[in-house]
Amino acid sequence: MPSRLRSLAAAAALTAVGALALSGCAGSAATEATASSAPAGDASAFPVTFEHLYGETTIESAPERIATWGWGATDAVLALGIVPVAISSMDYGGGDDRITPWVSDAIEKLGGETPVILDNATYELDVEELLAADPDVLIAPYSGLTQEEYDAVTSAGIPVVAPEEALWATPWRDVITETGEALGLSDEAGTLLAGLDDQIADAAAAHPEFQGTTIAYVDDDVDTLYMYLPADARVEILEDLGFSTPDSVTALDTGEGTFYTTVSYENLDKIDAQVIFTQAEEQAVLDEFLASDRGRLIPAVQKGAVAPIVGEEDVAAVSPTALSLPWLLPTMVDQLAAATATANT
The backbone torsions φ and ψ at residue 93, rounded to the nearest 5 degrees and listed phi first, read 90, 0
Give yes or no: residues 337 and 212 share one domain. yes
Give yes or no: residues 12 and 126 share one domain. yes
Give yes or no: residues 162 and 215 share one domain. no
Number of domains in the chain: 2
Give yes or no: residues 174 and 222 share one domain. no
- Asked if residue 150 is part of any domain, the answer here is yes
Give yes or no: residues 37 and 164 share one domain. yes
pTM, two decimal places:
0.87
In contact, 167 and 143? CB cutoff 8 Å: yes
Give yes or no: residues 237 and 284 share one domain. yes
Give yes or no: residues 280 and 335 share one domain. yes
Give yes or no: residues 170 and 264 share one domain. no
Per the DSSP assignment, residues forming a β-bridge with 137 are 66
CATH code, domain carrying 288: 3.40.50.1980
In angstroms, the first-to-last Cα distance of the chain is 38
In contact, 332 and 235? CB cutoff 8 Å: no
Give yes or no: residues 172 and 221 share one domain. no
From 129, 150, 185, give the residue that closes a domain. 185
Give yes or no: residues 141 and 253 share one domain. no
Q: Smallest Cα–Cα separation from 280: which of 260, 305, 309, 319?
A: 309
In contact, 203 and 331? CB cutoff 8 Å: no
From 153, 185, 217, give the residue that closes a domain. 185
How far apart CA 258 and CA 114 sit, in angstroms, is 35
| Amino acid found at 44 | S
| 281 secondary structure, DSSP code | S
Average pLDDT across each block of 10 residues of the chain; the chain has 345 residues. List them in order: 41 31 32 45 93 97 96 97 96 89 95 91 95 97 97 98 94 97 97 98 98 97 91 95 96 91 95 97 95 96 98 95 98 98 97
Give yes or no: residues 123 and 263 share one domain. no
pLDDT of residue 286: 96
How far apart CA 216 and CA 274 sit, in angstroms, is 8
Handedness of CA 121, 72, 112, 86 (dihedral sign): negative
pLDDT of residue 39: 64
- Asked if residue 294 is part of any domain, the answer here is yes
Give yes or no: residues 144 and 218 share one domain. no
Q: How many CB atoms lie within 10 A of CB 232?
A: 20
Quote the domain boundaries for residue 41: 3-185
pLDDT of residue 222: 76
- Asked if residue 193 is part of any domain, the answer here is no
pLDDT of residue 38: 55
How far are the Cα atoms of 38, 56, 108, 225, 330 from residue 123, in angstroms, in the given order?
Answer: 28, 23, 26, 24, 30
In contact, 193 and 326? CB cutoff 8 Å: no
